[in-house]
Amino acid sequence: MYLMCAEYLRCRMRRLRLNLLGDNSGLAAVEFAMILPLMLVMFFGTIEVTSGVAVNRKVTIVTRTLSDLTSQASSVTDAQLANFFAASAAIMTPYSATPVRATVSQVKVDGITLKATIVWSKGAKPHGVGDTVTVPDGLKPVAPAADIYLIWSEVSYLFKPLSHYTVTDVNLSDQTYTRPRQSACVMYNNTAC
């Protein structure tokens, strides 16, 4: 009787083992549970990176708009500059304009020494009058020449993603130079350049 019972248990265990090895009914659920976290990270990461690229493009447009609006005037006041900043910041829609830090300055490039200095500067981080700045070589006159003036706009934006699991905070920035269009320079509060 003991032999029959042992043989029966061995046979039953073999049959159970074969049944378990051939059973694939929960395999898809297990694979899905293993892949789901990776899929979610990739999905939300893609959304955050796409938003970051869109915000970076808007920062570039804000920079160019601020410089362009300022360079179209022959003279600017604080009220006009405030309007230029507001119009430029409105470009950030639908993203928040709160993190926008914009500065617009007029730079004088000496035609003899090619030294670039700040004439006036307004915005979030204004430069000091007379501060020396670096201007791209392509914008400098061929010496000896007359002095030239440039409108220089700088914009920075702290991009904060919705979740910090996929992307961390990124500081986006851009700068651009334009030449005044209505006159040789853009006067600030009617003071001569």
pLDDT digits (tens, 9 = 90+) for 7-63: 777 777 777 776 666 666 777 888 889 999 999 888 888 888 899 999 999 999 999
Q: Is residue 1 scored above 70 in pLDDT?
A: no
Q: Tell me how far apart the alpha carbons of residues 52 and 122 are, in angstroms, rounded to a whole number.
A: 27
pTM of the model: 0.77
Determine how many CB atoms are found less than 10 A away from the CB of residue 121.
Answer: 20
Q: Which residues contact 110 (CB under 8 A, 6 or more apart)?
A: 116, 117, 147
Q: Tell me how far apart the alpha carbons of residues 21 and 1 are, in angstroms, rounded to a whole number.
A: 30
DSSP alpha helices (H): ranges in the chain?
2-22, 27-71, 78-90
Judged by DSSP in three states, 155 sits in strand
Q: Is residue 3 scored above 60 in pLDDT?
A: no
* Average pLDDT over every residue of 89-95: 91
pLDDT tens-place string over residues 48-77: 889 999 999 999 999 999 999 999 998 999
> Domain-by-domain residue ranges, the chain?
30-187
Q: Which residues contact 156 (CB under 8 A, 6 or more apart)?
A: 59, 100, 101, 171, 172, 173
pLDDT tens-place string over residues 134-188: 999 888 888 788 889 999 999 999 998 887 766 788 999 999 999 999 888 999 9
